[in-house]
Amino acid sequence: REREKQISFFSTQAAQRETAMDAILDRLHTKGESNLAEDRVQQLRGELENSEAERARLGERLAMLEGSLQEALKRKDAADLARNLEVQQLREGLSMARIDLKTAEEQLCALRARAPAQSDAAQGRDRILHAKDNPYVEALKEKVAAQKKEIANLSKELKALADSSQGSSGSGESVNAAKLRQRLKTMFAERVKVLREAVYLLTGWKVDMATDRENPQLRLRSMYAEKEDDSLLFAWKSPKDSAEAAPEAAGAKAGTEDERELQLLETPFALGADSRSFIYLEKYHSVPA
């Protein structure tokens, strides 16, 4: 706008000088001062040409500045869009990580023995070993607590990243967001590995979980299994689903009314196993260690 005002000012000056030049010519011709009039005319014409040249230069400068402004606005919009996308991806990753943690905790609780060991000892059966105060369980609890603390710290970092994104460039935030997302992936991969090892040491069963969140399944392989296919397969369902599928499902279930329930599915190993082994599933809702 300042440039436009200057251009308008020079145009006005040029018009005024041209009018003055015509008036001087008329006055000088009237007096007969032709030589002085000619010099004055040349001077005014020079000033007029300079004014026109300055106006053209200012017009070019104004067009260049407008183009630069448009480019800067486009780059800022693109950076803001990329930064918002990174923040959204981090939030989704953090939400999924929390779900994975909760699922892992529920999985461990479902595999713990719940029936009193004395009843089995009195009837001459194999006992279910309860490891409530086992050092491995205590170590696992510490791991879970540390995991929750790290999730809280990551949530704070994510909030700080979202707050700092307002008014800052997108390059630095993109790098920080990528690092934070990688930290989330690494952290939960390590936690899941530790949890599976703890379950294996506590129960003697190796646990694998399907990735389908809608219909999760658990596959248990004993450390004493003779073949890789010797495994038990459980469907992990909500209480409502378990009640509807109870007439058709094989085996027994584990859990309470407010928790998910495990239902044993038919596999070649389950069909060929000793039926007495399933007393624990039917009566105690637990897998013998």
Print pLDDT tens along the chain (289 aa). 665 666 676 677 777 777 776 776 666 555 555 566 567 667 777 777 887 788 788 878 878 888 888 887 788 777 777 777 777 777 777 777 777 777 767 766 666 544 444 444 444 455 555 455 566 566 667 777 777 777 777 777 777 766 665 555 555 556 567 777 788 888 888 888 888 888 888 888 888 877 666 778 888 888 888 888 888 888 877 656 555 554 444 444 444 444 567 788 888 888 887 777 777 777 776 776 5
- Domain range annotation of the chain: 2-76, 204-289
pLDDT at position 244 is: 55
Give CA–CA dist 183/158, Å, rounded: 12
pLDDT at position 254 is: 46
pLDDT at position 117 is: 44
pLDDT at position 111 is: 60
pLDDT at position 248 is: 43
**SS3 sequence, the chain?**
CHHHHHHHHHHHHHHHHHHHHHHHHHHHHHHCCHHHHHHHHHHHHHHHHHHHHHHHHHHHHHHHHHHHHHHHHHHHHHHHHHHHHHHHHHHHHHHHHHHHHHHHHHHHHHHCCCCCHHHHHHCCCCCCCCCCCCHHHHHHHHHHHHHHHHHHHHHHHHHHHHHHCCCCCHHHHHHHHHHHHHHHHHHHHHHHHHHHHHHHHHHCEEEEECCCCCCCEEEEEECCCCCCCCCEEEEEECHHHHHHHCCCCCCCEECCCCCCEEEEECCHHHHHCCHHHHHHHHHHCCCCC
Architecture of domain 204-289: 2-Layer Sandwich (3.30)
pLDDT at position 270 is: 85
